[in-house]
Structures are given as structure tokens and as C-alpha cells.
Structure 1
Amino acid sequence: MRIFKILNKCATGRVFTYLALALAGVASMPLTTLADPAHGIAMYGKPALESGFESLPYANPDAPKGGTIRLAEPGSFDSLKPWVLKGNAAWGVGVHVAESLMYRSIDEPFTLYGLLAESVETDENRQWVEFTLRPEARFSDGSPVTVEDVMWSYETLGTQGHPRYHGVWSKVETMEQTGPRSLRFTFNTDDRELAMLLGMRPILKKAQWQGKDFAQSGLEVPIGSGAYVIDQVDPGRSITFRRNPDYWGKDLPVNRGQHNFDAIRYDYYGDANAMFEAFKAGEADIWRELSPQKWETQYDFPRAKQGEVVKTEIPNQRPSGIIGLVMNTRHPLFADWRVREAMIEAFNFQFINATLNAGKEPRITSYFSNSDLAMQPGPAEGRVADLLRPFADDLLPGTIEGYSLPRGAEGPIDRKGMRRAMELLEQAGWTIQDGRLRDAAGNPFRFEILLNQSGTAMRTSSETQQIADLFIDGLRRLGIEARVSLLDSAQYIERTRNFQFDMAWYERALSLSPGNEQMLYWGSAAADQPGSRNWMGMKSHAAETIITEIVNSKTPEDFTSAVRALDRVLTAGRYVIPISFSPTSRLAHSSKLLYPVGRTPLYGDWPGFMPELWWQEAE
């Protein structure tokens, strides 16, 4: 028998309940169970791995433990709390210290296996989900991970944490303890992905943070349940994580072959050039090379010649995502789609791509290119067309009919592109006056391109600067005044976080299982929420309706059609000027570092691959 006691009711009306053990003579109605507890859960179908699996198929369960791996990061940090909006948190805290109830496999589109939770249970329509904690789960200080910690973490993150946690929390109707080690979430909306997302939130220790202003950034060392603890911190310069020899989960199937280094150290550098020099000198053990041209020409330094550095290429089958220059539609200048299309026409991709990497990388043709989720050429058909048709009057030209990016020209001047750009600008009310492009009131067409001097995850600062400079050269021929502002990481983050830019460098990785996070990327509410990823400020009822279709799709076919429809809305929205992408990661690393060769996961070099799966060769 089970009895639930209402503890409190928050201002939003959400009721939180905790289990009280039934007393003698007290009767209660049992909860109806529509499914059996399972070791894992997949967005569609069943998990690929059966209960009792030995290890993840892309891990080496016999990998030796020991050694130190040194990694380089750009910029600086002033916080150890990656779960809040304020501050610039050190990389690795959320990865190595905190754990979630479930662990995501990077060899399946979207499948979770038990981590802190030994089982997961949900109904056929996924209107609720229940997790049961492992009795052995412990924080690094030896205290048990309890249902109380889990419930506190979810409520705190959902109300005081980073905005990325708020959307899912708003869809939780009730959160209740259902047993000594179990809790259930019931949802207030139809959304099949919620059962998955609720398994991926970080679980923090309530006793550490209760009574404090959780929303504030800070350098207090968090207590987590993960394989590593924070060992040393030099604010803004370096952070070292030490493997916990008493880690509670080291023998779990999802962890066998992972967390092999005794220590993981991240050193921070001013920019990518300094990081590469540190790698060449042996002060960093691994380097992701983003330029195919440099990959072929700049690895003849002494350590490479002596065999101390080796080059490895890791293929992947994930979507390209979107990389390029994003236009802020909150700025009146870029509110008109014809102006945005003119910017895309003026960007001579073929010449810029040849200049940067000898044309060896393909262009991003849509947000989900390089995957089966990408929009198909030509007019929309079938289910895709059905999803788009109700919004035909509001969609931009090409969304339904078909849209493709201009190729550009081999030379530095794309005359056809320039003519098309000028035609579009004239339609939008811009004309050449005294050698400059001006509107009817005589105001010049002038804007700023914001770049990060520390570079980004996918491009160095010198590359983004070169791309912007070549673009600006072309814009001058149209009478447009554009300038680059190269900011340090802190300034860049602050301005982009608050959408204080005209055009900026933009990167968004996308998975093979897009879902609720798409609202954070492209939703109307996110457009007005500082810190969101909707930098372009798009507000599209069509996009939001289609995202709802995505998260509620019951078959892979309906899911694929919905993503392809969303891809059309995004790409034909002309929000970003896309550049090239690489379907292969190029990793140069110490010859003493090894990884499971021949077991490359579906997502390739993705969070969860390095350093988690790597190890150091024994001396």
C-alpha cells in the first residue's frame, strides 16, 4: 500500500509529494503500473543492448587505468557552476563531477541506460516516468544519493538554474516519491521525449546548496557522484580533476572501459594559436585540427617527426549542424528576409572555401545535412508537405517549393551573386547614393560582425577573422559598410548572451534525435530569453508546431518527416550564412594515448568519446 502526503504547493501550482510509509490500518489506492521497470529506454523501439550487457560496444573494458591527460581550452573561467546562467564555468565540471539518472549511448540515435538509476519505467503514451535509484549510489564524500537529492536538484534547476532547464520543468505536473529509492514524474502535456529528458538532468547534493543563492556563480567546489573530483583550481588558468578511487559506479556496465586516467587537467590559453603552440611543445596531449589544409601542411614539427605525436581521423554519421554567420533579426536591418538573402548571395562561398581549405570540405546545405534527417531537394512532398501547408501564407519563399544555397564563383568576385544581392536590396528599399548603400531616409547600410578572439569549438579565431574579412571585401562592392569587433571570451559571451550584436559567429551541433532542445534553439520564448541559443531571434509558429510534432512522433517515419519539415523552415528562413563542415574529426595526439580502434560509435568524436574512452599506454 502507498500513501502520499502533500508537502507544499509552489506559486505555479505544481504539487510536490513525498512517500510516507503506510501505517497499520491505513489503506490507500495503489498506483496503476502500465509497464515493467527496464534497464534502459530508447526514443523509438528498444535499446540495442539487452539487460546484463558487459560494456558499451565502443568502449574497451580491458583498458588500463592510470596516467594524466592534459587538455587545452580557449579563454578563461570564473565559476565552477555550469548549471546556472551567471559566470563563465570551467569546462569539465558538468562532465566529470556530476552524474544523471541515465547515461546516453553515443552509438544509438537516442538511447539511455541506467546510471544513478537502476531502472526506468513509463507507460505506453509516456505520460509519466518513474526511476529507481541504485542503493549503492554515492556522492564523492561517501553520502548516499537519495530521492530527496534528486527531487531537490530537479526543482532547483527548473526554477533557479540555467534557462535550458526551465522548459522541461514547466511540463512536469507532479513529482512524487513512490518508494524508498524511487520517484515518479507526471507530465502536463503530450511530449514523448520528456521521459528521456528527465533521465539526463545532473543530480546535485542538496545539503551542499540548500539555503544558498543557487543562481549565483562561484568557485565553491561542487560535490558530485561522478568518477572524478575537483583536485586543483587556478581560477581562469587551469583546473585538474582526480579520479576517485572509491567511485561507487566504476563496475557498472556503462562505465567499464571509461574514466581511465588518474587525472584530467585543462589549461586555458588566450587563443587557438597559443593552444596549438602548447600542443606542439608537449604541454597539451591532444589537438582537434579544424582545417584540412593545416592537417596536411603543419604537422612537421619536431614531436611529430619523432613519432611522439600521431594523427588520427574519426568519422561520424551525425548531422552537420549549423556553422557560420548568424543575423540578428531583432536588428531592423536584418528583419527583412530579402536583406538576409542578399547577405547569403554576397558571401562567395566557393572562393572563401577554396582560400581557407582548398575546397576540400563540403558546404553545410541545411541544418541536418550529412544525415537522413536533412530536407530533400525540390518541392516538399508527402508528410513533409502536409506539415508545412497550413503555414503556407507565412512561410518564406522556397520553404515549400524548394530552397538551395548559391554556389558562388571560383574567383574573388561573384558577379551573378552580386547582381542578385543588389536586386534583393533594392526590393527591400536600399539604393546606391553617393557610392554608398542607403535607405530612403539616407541612412547607410552599416553593421558590426562580432567574433571571439579565443576562437570557437569548430573554428580558430584566425579562420573566423579571415572568413569575415573576405566577406567584408565583397560587401564593399555593394556599398555596404561592415566591420569586425574581435572580443575576448568574457565580452563575447556577455554580448551574445544578451543578443547585443548585428551579426556574429554561430555554431550549433545537432543530434540524430532532435527534440525539446529545438525550442531552446528556435522557439519564440527563447528569442526573448537572455542566454538562450536562439541568437537569430526567430519567431515562427510553423517551427514551433513542427517541433511539437517531432517530440510526439510515434514512428521513425513520422519523426523523419517532421525534422525534414523543420529543416526547411530553418534553412529557408535565411538566418545564417553557412560555411563548410567536416564529416571526420582530425585528432593529433600523444602517441602514448590510445582509444578503442575499430569501435567508432555512431556519433564519432562527440561528448562521451574523449577523454572518457581513452587511456594511456603503460610506461
Structure 2
Amino acid sequence: MRLDFFCTFRRLTAGIVLVLTAGNAAADSRHAIAMYGEPALPPDFVSLPYANPDAPKGGRIVFGNTGGFDSLNPFAQKGTVPWQMQFWSYESLMGRSWDEPFTLYGLLAESVETPADRSWVEFTLRPEARFSDGSPVTVEDVIWSYRTLGTEGHLRYRGFWSRIAAIEATGPRSVRITFADDDRELAMLAGLRPILKKAQWDGRSLAEGDIHDIPIGTGPYVVSAYEPGRYVTFSRNADYWGRDIGFRRGTMNFDEMRIDFFGDQSVLFEAFKAGEISAVREFNAQKWDSVYNFPAVQRGDVLKTEIVHGKPSGMTGFVINTRRAPFDDWRVREALMLAFNFEYINDTVTGGAMGRITSYFSGTDLAYRPGPASGAVAALLAPYVHDLPPGTIEGYNLPQGDGTARNRSNLRKAADLLAEAGFGIRDGELFGPDGNRFAFRFLIRQGDTDMQTVIEIYTRALARLGILATTDKVDNAQYTARIAELDFDLTPFRRDLSLSPGNEQRLYWGSETADQPGTRNLMGANLPAIDAMIDAMLSARSQDELIAATRALDRILTAGRYVIPIWNFDVGRIAHVRQMRHPDYTPIYGDGPQYMPDVWWYRD
């Protein structure tokens, strides 16, 4: 009996030791963390692969935005802020490499630690990390930033706070976050929250204040001058704390970056031609080939650079507000899709030079495959088969026009669907089952000339169905307010998507915030199947599981007819002054706010 007891005790003790050893090994402190697999760069990496570590510092460049701004606080819900500001002036504990699907490297934090199940994550701050005013970044600042952004900050930060069970200091420079949910991506997202200075806001709310209340950050640039609605100047902080760390070496090279504001895109382009702006991004392939031949281009003073990428297409088009009747009926949405004569519109607006987006993740392995769902995708969808949009299981393809202006075949199909949904024609006008004429409004920003052209062609097709479509053109402030209040029928829409989709999918089309003011789920998608596919993505333990869940989600979203898709921006196009240079190596995510201007530099 005594012998059996000690044998059992020794086996139990050995098991406990193994468990603890395994747990400690899995939670070793590291310089980086990847969603799947291992980080590509070693601890002593010199620079990101798409940055030039020897890039010179200096130069002044000017960008142009349309509209205006009435706030310089990117973290408050109210106000319109220059969108570039959050990328230039603020930093997080970790920084993302845009040459890997989802890998983070130390930025304000020198190391990260998490167990195998990622139920918690611990960051250790760099001792040299500083705010732009020279004060050190402390654990207290970190904890305050997470709590404040999560409770009174912009809505995009609040969802993450609800997933935190505890946040606590574990040492003079270390902080641990324990999660309330089993979600492996939370350890990654925790590294991407901006860190602000607590002392600046003592006795004040981050959500309030006027345009002069600019949050102090740790980023390479600070606001050095501004005039509300006209311009903002960002100057490189000569004492920037992180200039020599691998993640920052060769980045943020310009001494000064200014944003000028213009009434519309055409005025902005004329300013570029006149040499008042340093660079513009062009999203219309026909314009790229036809209007970028002005004298400065011919002289070589302005260069045209094309940048390819390997990221998903994302979704660009007109989002339909399904909270409003009759857009809550899929047959009406399909009729609108049929009436949208993409082939003719594309030929008219871009010369047929740009292909169409076919799904949310098209162009990658994450995109759903044509034909009926099968294998793991079918198994994920099976419990929801009776509630899925038609075409989800069988396969759904976007309507194709015949290339003619009248597009008769598709309009006949659209008319049949509308009749099935209870609509009828009287005196050339379409009336719904409620007795009201089918009329709706597009909401667009002033100066969005490309979309205005598309709408003009589209409304003529809708008129042939008896539908009255008009356009509300509003300034930036009005547009932002109306979108936040979900006050629109159809509006231009863009969602960039990742090679490693995760919790952001809840924000984009999860049911929890579908009817919440300020939601990013503009279409009002509200299906248990969508939530379930997002859950499956977040619980995936392998790349194969992630691919299956994403393909299933892609099927539902595409068959849901929530957005009328337009062009696939598979190539980035930047026209810029010859003094702006860039590395030869392009990251897999291609161009974006973290590529230009981040890794570009100035040289005469």
C-alpha cells in the first residue's frame, strides 16, 4: 500500500512538473508573435524587408485630402479627423509587418509572452520608449489607454475592452492582459492598441475637448501647425525615441508632411498638376493612362509608379442599407444587382481596363470556390442551411450584362424578381406592396466625381424599371454624421481585408453591432450563420481551418447581395514628384498607409 502510494505520488509529481515545464516553455518571452507559424524575421533584424535601412532623412512633401476636418483627436467618436493622423503620430506595443499575413514585432514593447492557448499575453516595455514630449511610457499609461479607449474612446476600440478579463502590472515595465474569451487572435490585437499619455487627460474626458486638444503620442511625427479645414502640418520629431530599432529603421524619413484640403477631387488633381501636391493615388486605370500625361510627367518631374499586391480584393461598391424596406428583401437587392450594368459602366468609366470584384476575398486562397459548397465549408454551413441567402450552398455568381447600354435581359430578370416581391408598374412607375412608389437616394461626398458618373448611368437603368433614384451630395462632416446615424439607402463602400481575417470581421458584419449608431456594419447584416463563421475563424487552430471558415463566410456575404461590387484594385497606382523614392522590394500587402509614405524617402 505504501509502495503504491509513493509510485502514484511520483507519477503525479512528474506530471505536474511536465505540465509546468511545458507551460513555461510555451510562454517564453519573444521579440515577435505570429497568428500562425513562426515570425519571418529574427530578433536582431536590421529593418523590415520592404524598408531601406540606409534611406536618408529629410525633405518636405504635401498630400491632398478632400473635404475638411474639425478635430485632431483620432480616438474620440465625434468629429472628422485627417485619416493619416493615426498612422503618423501614434504607436502601439507591437507593430505589424506588411510582408506577412499577420505577424507583430516589438515596437513600444521589447518583448511579448503568451502561453500555448493564448489565454493571456504579457508585454515588457522598452526602457527607452518615450512620448513626443520626452516623458517615459509607463505601464500606468498602457493600462489607462486600454481602459479609456475601451470605455469612452471611438467605437472601434470598445469591442476589444469587453474581451478583457483583467489587465495588471506584473513588474516595473511589464503588463499582463488576461482574456475573457477563448480567441487566439486577442493576443495579437492586444499589441495593436494605441498608447496615449495618461497625465495629459487627468480630470478630463478623452471623448470631449476642442480641436486644440491633440492627444500626445509616441509616434515619429507631431502636429506643428494647422488651420481648421485648410491644412495640417506634421513635423518629424528630431528626438523620436524609436529611430534606431529594427522595426523603425528606414521608415518615417520625411522631415515634414503637410495635408492640404480641397473641395473636390478635380480641384485636388489640378493642384497636383500645378506642383502644389507631391503625390496622389489614382484608382481609375483609364485616367491613369489618359490624363497623367501633363507637362510635369513628360518632363520627368512627376513619375508614375505601379505596385502589385497579394492581398484579398476586399469589397468596393455600393452598400445597401438592409435595415430599410424594401432592401430587407433579397429579391429586391438581386434586382438592383441585375440593373447595375457593370460591363457597360466599366467600359464607360475606365475603358474596360479594370476587372470586377467577384467576392470579398477574391484573388486569394481565402475566397470561396465556384459551384456547390463541399467538404469542411459545407459542414460549417450545414446547421444554418434553412436561413442562408439563396445561392450560398449552391453557389452564387454576380449577374453579367451583355455589354450594351440597355442590358435588356438582366432588366427583364430584375422586373420578374420585383414582381415576385409584390411590386407593380403604374404609368411607368414602380409601386411596392405598401402602395408607395419605389424611390431611394444615394448618399455621396461632394466632389466624388467618379461615383457620380457611375450613379448617373445606373439611375437611367433603374428608371427603366420604374425606380426613382436620386443623389444627396453632402460635405465630409454631413457625410460622416449621416453614416454614423445609418441615414442612407445606398452609399459608396470600401472594406480592405486581410490575409489573416479575425475579430475585425465582427465589426464589419457581425450582428452584435448591426443596429448600433456608428457601426461599421453598414449593410446591417444580421445572420446567425455569419456570426458562426466568424467564430469558426477565430477558433481556428490551423491555416486549413481558417481557410474553410473564411470561404464559408465569403459565400454568405456574397450571396447576401449586401453590396453591389465594382472594380478590383489589384494594382496600386501612385503619381509622385521625382524626389520621392521608394525601395525596390514590395510587401505582399502592396501599397497602403503603411507603405507610402512610411518607407519612402526624399532625394533631389
TM class by smaller structure = over 0.9
1:156 correspondence with 2:148: yes
1:310·1:591 contact (CA, 8 Å) conserved in 2?
yes
Per-residue deviation, 1:439: 2.1
1:367-378 maps to which residues of 2 (within 5 A)? 367-378=360-371
In the alignment, does 2:599 pair up with 1:613? yes
The amino acid that maps onto 1:113 is Y
Cα distance in 1 for partners of 2:85, 2:566 equals 31
> Counterparts of 1:162 and 1:582 in 2: how far apart (Å)?
29
Separation of aligned partners in 2, 1:56 and 1:367: 28
| Contact 1:139–1:224 (Cα < 8 Å) also in 2 | yes
> TM-score of the superposition, structure 1-length normalised?
0.93
* Matched position secondary structure for 2:382: helix
- Does the 8 Å CA contact 1:117/1:134 hold for their aligned counterparts? yes
Q: Which residue number in structure 1 is paired with residue 589 of structure 2? A: 603
Deviation of 1:582 after TM superposition, in Å, equals 2.1
Work out whether residues 80 and 217 of structure 1, in 8 Å CA contact, stay in contact via their aligned partners in 2: no
What letter corresponds to residue 586 of structure 2 in structure 1? T
- Decide whether the 8 Å contact of 1:121 with 1:131 is kept in 2: yes
Please give the alpha-carbon distance, in whole angstroms, between the structure 2 residues aligned to 1:556 and 1:35.
22
Give the SS at the match of 1:253: coil
1:443 aligns with 2:430: no
2:202 & 2:270 partners in 1: Cα distance? Answer: 44
- Superposed, which structure 2 residues align to 1:280-319 within 5 Å? 280-319=273-312
SS of match in other structure, 1:557: helix
**What is the CA-CA distance between 1:418 and the residue it aligns to?**
0.6
- The answer to whether 1:531 aligns with 2:518 is yes
CA distance in 1, matches of 2:174, 2:333: 51
The worse-fitting range, judged by mean Cα deviation, of 157-166 and 145-154 is 157-166
Structure 1 counterpart SS, 2:449: helix
Partner of 1:25: none
- State whether residues 316 and 604 of structure 1, in contact with CA within 8 Å, keep that contact through their aligned partners in structure 2: yes
Please list every run of 5 or more consecutive structure 1 residues that lacks an aligned counterpart in the other structure: 1-28, 455-460
Q: 1:155 to 1:434 in 2, by over 3 A?
A: same
The question of 1:468 aligning with 2:455 is answered yes
Q: Are 2:451 and 2:492, in contact at CA under 8 Å, matched by a contact in 1?
A: yes
Amino acid at match of 2:587: P
Query: SS of 1:255's equivalent?
Result: coil
Contact 2:89–2:219, Cα closer than 8 Å, also in 1? yes
- Aligned runs of 1:6-25 on 2, under 5 Å? none
Count of matched residue positions in the alignment of Structure 1 and Structure 2: 583
Match of 1:14 in 2: none
Contact 2:84–2:593 under 8 Å retained in 1: no
Counterpart secondary structure, 1:562: helix
Deviations 1:88-146 (A, max 9, x none): 01233211111100000010011000000000011111111000000111111111000
Q: 1:490 aligns with which of 467, 477, 489?
A: 477
**Greater mean alpha carbon deviation, residues 59-68 or residues 441-450:** 441-450
Alignment correspondent of 1:385: 378
Distance 1:64 1:160 in 2: 40
**1:380-459 equivalence runs, <5 A:** 380-454=373-447
Q: Which aligned pairs between 1:224-243 and structure 2 lie closer than 5 A?
A: 224-243=217-236
Determine which of 498, 501, 507 is the counterpart of 1:511.
498
Q: Deviations over 1:441-460 (max 9, x none)?
A: 43111111111114xxxxxx
Answer whether contact 1:78 1:88 (CA < 8 A) is retained: yes
Give the equivalent residue in structure 2 for 1:244: 237
What is the CA–CA distance in structure 2 between the aligned matches of 1:226 and 1:505, rounded to whole Å?
32
Give CA-to-partner distance per residue, 1:373-400, whole Å, 9 cap, x none.
1111000111111111100010011001
Pick one of 178, 185, 190 that aligns with 1:193: 185
- Separation (CA, whole Å) in 2 of partners of 1:210 and 1:156: 12
CA RMSD of aligned residues (A): 1.4
Which of the residues 258, 262, 273 maps onto 1:265?
A: 258
Aligned pair 1:256/2:243, yes or no? Answer: no
Answer yes or no: is the 8 Å Cα contact 1:86–1:217 preserved in 2: no
| Correspondence for 1:320 | 313
Normalised to the residue count of structure 2, the TM-score between the two structures is 0.95
In structure 2, give the amino acid aligned to 1:557: D
Tell me by how many angstroms 1:297 deviates.
1.1
Structure 2 alignment gaps of length 5 or more = 1-19
Matches within 5 A, 1:74-89: 74-89=66-81
Q: Deviations over 1:38-73 (max 9, x none)?
A: 000000011110111111111000101111111111
Mapped partners of 1:145, 1:221: distance in 2: 17
> Deviation at 1:434?
2.1
| Mean CA deviation greater in 189-198 or 83-92 | 83-92
Instruction: Provide the secondary structure at the position in 1 that maps to 2:465.
Output: coil
Query: Does the alignment pair 1:565 with 2:552?
Result: yes
In the alignment, which residue of structure 2 is the partner of 1:16? none
What is the alpha-carbon distance in structure 1 between the residues aligned to residue 359 and residue 82 of structure 2? 32
More helix by share: 2
Question: How far, CA to CA, are the matches of 1:381 and 1:367 in structure 2?
Answer: 19
In 1, the alpha carbon distance for the partners of 2:224 and 2:83 equals 14
Structure 1 residue ranges, 4+ long, deviating more than 6 angstroms after superposition? none
SS in 1 for 2:235: strand
CA offset digits 1:406-441 (Å, max 9, x no partner): 111211011110111011101110011222111234
Please, which of 45, 55, 64 is the counterpart of residue 53 of structure 1? Answer: 45
**Are 2:466 and 1:479 equivalent residues in the alignment?**
yes
Q: Are the counterparts in 2 of residues 87 and 217 from structure 1 also a CA contact under 8 Å?
A: no
Matches within 5 A, 1:84-163: 84-163=76-155
Residue 217 of structure 1, CA deviation: 5.3
Q: Which amino acid aligns with 1:188?
A: A
Structure-2 separation of matches of 1:166 and 1:441 = 39
The residue that corresponds to 2:9 in the other structure is none
**Is residue 521 from structure 1 mapped to residue 508 from structure 2 by the alignment?**
yes
> What is the one-letter code of the residue matched to 1:615?
W
Is residue 336 from structure 1 mapped to residue 329 from structure 2 by the alignment?
Answer: yes
- Rounded Cα–Cα distance in structure 1 between residues aligned with 2:273 and 2:50: 29
